[in-house]
Amino acid sequence: MAFFQLGLRRAAVQLSRPSVFCARAAFNASQQQKLVQLATPASTILKLVSQARHTQSRNYATQKVQESPLSKLATDIAKPAPSSDKSEKKSSFPETSSKSVAYWLLASAASVFGIVIFGGLTRLTESGLSITEWRPVTGSLWPGSQEEWESEFEKYRASPEFKMLNSTMNLQEFKQIYFMEWTHRLWGRFIGMSFVLPTIYFIARRRVTPRMACTLVGISALIGFQGFIGWWMVKSGLKDDLFAPGSHPRVSQYRLAAHLATAFVCYSWMLLAGLSILRTHKAINFPEQAVKNFTALQSPALRVLRGSVAALTVLIFTTVLSGALVAGLDAGLIYNEFPMMGNGLAPPKSELLDKFYSRHEDGSDLVWRNMLENPSLVQLDHRILAMTTFTAVCALVAYSRSGRVKAALPPAARKGITGLLHLVSLQVALGISTLIYMVPIPLAAAHQAGALALLTGVLVAGQRLRIPKATLAMAQRRLAQLAQQAKTQGPK
């Protein structure tokens, strides 16, 4: 009996916990069952021990595999993670920008169009130098008390413009010109805030493509730079050493041209970005027509026309900059006749290349300084550029209606080019009228608006002639999807 008891003890140590628990439960439940087990033959006991060892090792191995961290990690890597895919889709940019972004861009472009015209009115009413400080934040507040008005008026009295031109101006008259400049600056702040904040929102909410996101950031930076250029321009009219001796105070024509050019670039960028989004959505919604139009635009017959529109865009922009020089120098107040300038089509050569404007003794800067600073030559240059633009538009329209080009040109592009003829004719009429009537404010403002309208027309025409590869690829994919769906559904 002692031998069998020792064997049972050794076997109990090696048994699994469930087996030991069951044995103890059985021992405590019935003393009689224990006596039966002790009476069991030795061969039977050894068989039970071997079976228990095998069961314990199998259970242990299974438990180890199930609870192993490495095996769990390997299983997680092998299995697809749906939550990870959802996060990627949520954080990725879309393939096309939202239509709301396009409408917002076009509305911002319209606001820039308006501020350009209002800026021209501010210059024509000689109100641009009424605010002599640049305060981006506090400057947006309207003077609310008599003391604040007196303070602003006192600052203006110290400016060269008041001393040389408006020495008899009273406070009520000052308020009128102050209102014009204050409104112009407030409008600029509104454009900046109404563009930068939505830009952050659209990018954060993934409503734009990566390329459009970069475009919006670039336009935002350009708007901020435009505000700096505006003050840099105004500052040139507040110091005596920044304009020629003997002339009345005015802003630098170079800085005025830079300010206007930046505004035109900002407007053009917004316009083209908005139109490109709408064009993409139209191509996706009507892929068959879009692919047809893009295929027609790939015709070799339109290559020269496309390049001519691009060259015309550069010519119109150059003419606009020339007009800014005319405005900055008040060159429109001389030779108020057309097409003659005095006794001929051009003033005498001695007047056009006046040595007064040269600053080098050897005269090396005689030509270019007269072209940019001599009012007579600046007006002549603007006339030449304007008539060249008019002739170029007429030639472009005639070329677009010739044989092969007319057959290959899509209807939308044909309408855009035809519209250029109407815009340039109106602009020439406004320009001549402004000159003959000695720059009245309504005509001069309309002439500036006509320049921006003409630039709009040539940008739209160029955009309709351009072949966007990304949009073409999306239209082709969409068309293939529709064809696959039609094939799957089959005839009803």
The DSSP line for 40-102 is: S-HHHHHHHHHHHHHHHHHHHHHHHHHH-HHHHHHHHHHS--HHHHHHHHHHSPPSS--HHHH
75-to-23, 71, 190, 235 alpha-carbon distances in Å = 38, 6, 56, 70
Predicted pLDDT at 240: 62
Residues 6+ apart with CB under 8 A from 227: 136, 188, 189, 192
Name the 3-class secondary structure at 341.
Answer: strand
* Amino acid letter, 143: P
In a domain, 265, yes or no: no
Partners of 344 in the beta sheet? Answer: 341
84-109 pLDDT, tens digit per residue, is: 444 444 547 888 899 999 999 999 99
Predicted pLDDT at 482: 82
Q: How confident is the model at residue 239 (pLDDT cuts 50, 70, 90)?
A: confident
- State CA 121 to chain mean position distance: 27
Predicted pLDDT at 486: 78
Predicted pLDDT at 95: 87
Partners of 341 in the beta sheet? Answer: 344
Cβ proximity of 223 and 195 under 8 Å: yes
420-473 pLDDT, tens digit per residue, is: 999 999 999 999 999 999 999 999 999 999 999 999 999 999 999 998 888 888
In a domain, 61, yes or no: no
Range in 40-49, 88-97, 192-201, 407-416 with the lowest mean pLDDT: 40-49
In a domain, 139, yes or no: no
209-235 pLDDT, tens digit per residue, is: 999 999 999 999 999 999 999 999 998
* Amino acid letter, 53: R
* Amino acid letter, 112: V
* Amino acid letter, 17: R
Q: How far apart are CA 290 and CA 299, in angstroms?
A: 15
In a domain, 28, yes or no: no
Closest Cα partner for 222 from 265, 183, 257?
A: 265
Report H helices in 401-440. 403-408, 411-436
In a domain, 344, yes or no: yes
Name the 3-class secondary structure at 213.
Answer: helix
Name the 3-class secondary structure at 250.
Answer: coil
In a domain, 378, yes or no: yes
Percent of the chain at pLDDT exceeding 70: 79
Average pLDDT, the chain: 83
Q: Name the residue with higher pLDDT: 177 or 37.
A: 177
Q: How confident is the model at residue 78 (pLDDT cuts 50, 70, 90)?
A: very low
Q: Alpha-carbon Rg of the chain, whole angstroms?
A: 41
Q: Tell me the HSE value of 6 on the side-chain side, using a 13 A CA sphere.
A: 3
**Number of domains the chain contains:** 1
For the chain, what's the residue count?
492
Q: How far apart are CA 164 and CA 243, in angstroms?
A: 13
Predicted pLDDT at 385: 97
Tell me the two tokens of residue 76.
């997680």
Cβ proximity of 453 and 423 under 8 Å: yes
Q: Name the residue with higher pLDDT: 476 or 317.
A: 317
* Domain boundaries, position 319: 299-466
Q: Is 52 exposed, middle or buried (0-12, 13-18, 19+ CB in 10 A)?
A: middle
In a domain, 289, yes or no: no
- Return the beta strands (E) in 310-384 as ranges: none
* Amino acid letter, 250: R
Q: How confident is the model at residue 250 (pLDDT cuts 50, 70, 90)?
A: confident
Rounded to two decimals, the pTM is 0.79
